[in-house]
Structure 1
Amino acid sequence: MTTFESESSSGASPAIGRQAYQGLERSCGDSIRTAPPLPGIERMEAWFQGNAFELHRHDTYAVGVTLEGVQSFHYRGVARASLPGQVMVLHPDELHDGGAGTEAGLHYRILYLEPSLLMRGLGEGAVSLPFVRQPVFSDPALREDILGLLGPLDRGLEQLAADDLIARLAQGLARHAGQPLKPIGSLAWRQVDRVRDYLEAHALHAVRSQDLEEIAGLDRYALSRHFRAAFATSPHRFLVMRRLGRARALIAAGEPLAEVAVATGFADQSHLTRHFKKAYGMTPGRWAGLVETGRRPDSAAA
């Protein structure tokens, strides 16, 4: 996930466009990039000069982050502007337009979410969808959750990661809407312990949300909330860390990085590298070099 520079007094980061999603080629002129679909979710990245969309409405939530430029739009009868690093939330069936607010152009990423997903993410007892009156605001934690759902756009998002992020996004929107968050109640220790043991034993296999629902007897969003409360991380992150632990062992044994990636359930070496660096603060190649250096005294003694 992208790490942004410290925020300005307005809450937006002026350098966010340079930091966000390094390695993706920036398009020239007006263009749109879409991601592989997820159930109930559309993901999009766009670059625009001038006006982009005429007044329109859709039946989904639109939740996005401005990366570069100024995003200018009319919403609920008022002219609005979103700066780099700020979050935008547009509600279903609300009329709005959009485009670049300056000659420098506009770059942003956005989610289109079916309302039922957010309702499920709020859990049992939710009686209404969150209505965020201010469509533009600064919230670094919520921004990171949104960008987690948005990227990388060149491949699908793992289901376990999407489920956890939707639960967190629903809670974040409810917070900004001023809705009381539903208390988690008694922690389901027996259920989350079973899930943890299953993830430990099946770390190198594809794990589906349906599998964990059957093991826990909880729906995926309730499971995400209980698991995070018990272990301070999500089921997906727990699974990734178990895979990374196996990867470190294989790297220490001298296995090639490309083969390590495949053997530990990552899509490719770049996928492994991204998660490895996020977890350990260095690339797998750097780790391999340090492990090799650490073996030399023993080898010489032998």
Structure 2
Amino acid sequence: MTTFESESLDAEPQAGLLPPSLGRQAFQGLERSCDDGIRTAPPLPGIERMEAWFHGNAFELHRHDTYAVGVTLDGVQSFRYRGASRASLPGQILVLHPDELHDGGAGTEEGLHYRILYLEPSLLMRGLGDGAVSLPFLRQPVFSDPALREDILGLLGPLDRGLEQLAADDLLARLAQGLARHAGQPLKPLGSLAWRQVDRVRDYLEAHALEAVRSEELEEIAGLDRYALSRHFRAAFATSPHRFLLMRRLGQARALIAAGEPLAEVAAATGFADQSHLTRHFKKAYGVTPGRWAGLVETGRRPGAAAA
């Protein structure tokens, strides 16, 4: 579909701290191994994504030149960082600043399951916008924030596929803003809303909903970089360019389903990778599967259905 192949990025929002079974609930269908192991995702520019299962001490003291931003899924994630012992519980976020010495491993005999991304600082600065004067430094490396966790899990979605470019851009902008907020770093005001630019982008997305839309195209149309565009578009329309495009595709899919088209053909015609990909997004948007929707439409067409 786009530069980064599409997969679901819209993690279901959760309230408060998630239970110890987060790993099994949030990523249904993943085969979890009892052995220690690591899985990596297809690379994105400036981002590495990884999933890990460990027992005991996993990593000795080390440092790297990227941000480490992760979510603990199962178990207790224990590590030493800036002279103190830390622990992250299921559902909590951990953020390690570049070039800070740390280790890591499971804090209990039950083991540890987590997902983490490594983010180049330059990419984070771009996400913060022109007003950023320094990289966010979080004094508390472990914290709870359901909304930010949702964004992080979006970037850490199914690792067997890439991420759709428009969604990745929006999530990175939101991640940058979230880290700055937790660092106590003042955020730059949006300033005058770029209505003319975002209207042009909205019209373009409407007209090209079934095509592969790249961030570079939208930057050229708007005259804004992709992260500024994401902020202005969300302020104007309460959604991201990626979500707007996705909903246009789903609207067309719904019309084709109502016309009796086979679901596999509907998925292909509306830009989804396959029928299961369409089903995941359709259910999140409308609360029912495409098959259930087709059945409801068919029932509504029967004589006397309205009276019943």
Q: TM-score higher than 0.5 here?
A: yes
Q: Is the 8 A contact 1:204 1:265 kept in 2?
A: yes
What RMSD in Å do the two structures reach over aligned CA positions? 4.6
Shift of 1:15: 3.4
Say if 1:126 and 1:301 are closer, same or farther in 2 by CA, change over 3 A.
closer
Q: Secondary structure at the match of 2:33?
A: coil
Shift of 1:110: 0.3
CA distance in 2, matches of 1:147, 1:189: 30
Say if 1:5 and 1:121 are closer, same or farther in 2 by CA, change over 3 A.
closer
Shift of 1:2: 23
CA distance in 1, matches of 2:305, 2:78: 64
Tell me whether 1:240 sits opposite 2:246 in the alignment.
yes
Cα distance per residue 1:45-86 (max 9 Å; x no partner): 001111111111100000000000000000011100000000
Say if 1:74 and 1:248 are closer, same or farther in 2 by CA, change over 3 A.
same
Shift of 1:28: 2.7
Q: Is the 8 A contact 2:58 2:105 kept in 1?
A: yes
Alignment gaps of 5+ in structure 2: 9-19
Q: Is the 8 A contact 1:4 1:16 kept in 2?
A: no
Shift of 1:264: 0.3
Say if 1:176 and 1:264 are closer, same or farther in 2 by CA, change over 3 A.
same
Shift of 1:301: 12
Cα distance per residue 1:146-184 (max 9 Å; x no partner): 000011211110000000000000000000000111110
Shift of 1:300: 12
CA distance in 2, matches of 1:3, 1:87: 28
Shift of 1:3: 27
CA distance in 2, matches of 1:262, 1:63: 35
Q: Which residue of 2 aligns with 1:108?
A: 114
Q: Is the 8 A contact 2:35 2:54 kept in 1?
A: yes
CA distance in 1, matches of 2:277, 2:285: 13
- What's the TM-score, normalizing by structure 2? 0.92
Say if 1:301 and 1:98 are closer, same or farther in 2 by CA, change over 3 A.
closer
CA distance in 2, matches of 1:3, 1:260: 22
Say if 1:53 and 1:286 are closer, same or farther in 2 by CA, change over 3 A.
same
Range that drifts further, 177-186 or 21-30: 21-30
Shift of 1:24: 1.2
Q: Is the 8 A contact 2:6 2:164 kept in 1?
A: no
Say if 1:4 and 1:59 are closer, same or farther in 2 by CA, change over 3 A.
closer
Q: Secondary structure at the match of 2:34?
A: coil
Q: Is the 8 A contact 2:7 2:163 kept in 1?
A: no
Q: Secondary structure at the match of 1:99?
A: strand
CA distance in 1, matches of 2:128, 2:104: 29
Shift of 1:295: 1.3
CA distance in 2, matches of 1:248, 1:116: 41
Cα distance per residue 1:192-227 (max 9 Å; x no partner): 000000000000000000000000000000000000
Shift of 1:5: 29
CA distance in 1, matches of 2:179, 2:41: 23
Q: Is the 8 A contact 1:163 1:220 kept in 2?
A: yes
CA distance in 1, matches of 2:120, 2:3: 28
Range that drifts further, 240-249 or 28-37: 28-37
Cα distance per residue 1:64-120 (max 9 Å; x no partner): 000000000000111000000000000100010000000100000000000011100
CA distance in 2, matches of 1:28, 1:5: 30
Q: Secondary structure at the match of 2:306?
A: helix
CA distance in 1, matches of 2:149, 2:89: 13
Q: Is the 8 A contact 1:67 1:109 kept in 2?
A: yes
1:98-137 aligned within 5 A: 98-137=104-143
Say if 1:300 and 1:84 are closer, same or farther in 2 by CA, change over 3 A.
closer
List structure 1 segments (4+ residues) > 3 angstroms apart after TM superposition: 1-8, 298-302
CA distance in 1, matches of 2:166, 2:51: 23
CA distance in 1, matches of 2:224, 2:265: 36
CA distance in 2, matches of 1:167, 1:5: 20
Q: Is the 8 A contact 2:5 2:162 kept in 1?
A: no
- What's the TM-score, normalizing by structure 1? 0.94
Q: Is the 8 A contact 2:201 2:222 kept in 1?
A: yes
Relative CO higher for 1 or 2, CA cutoff 8 Å, sep ≥ 6? 2
Give aligned pairs, total. 297
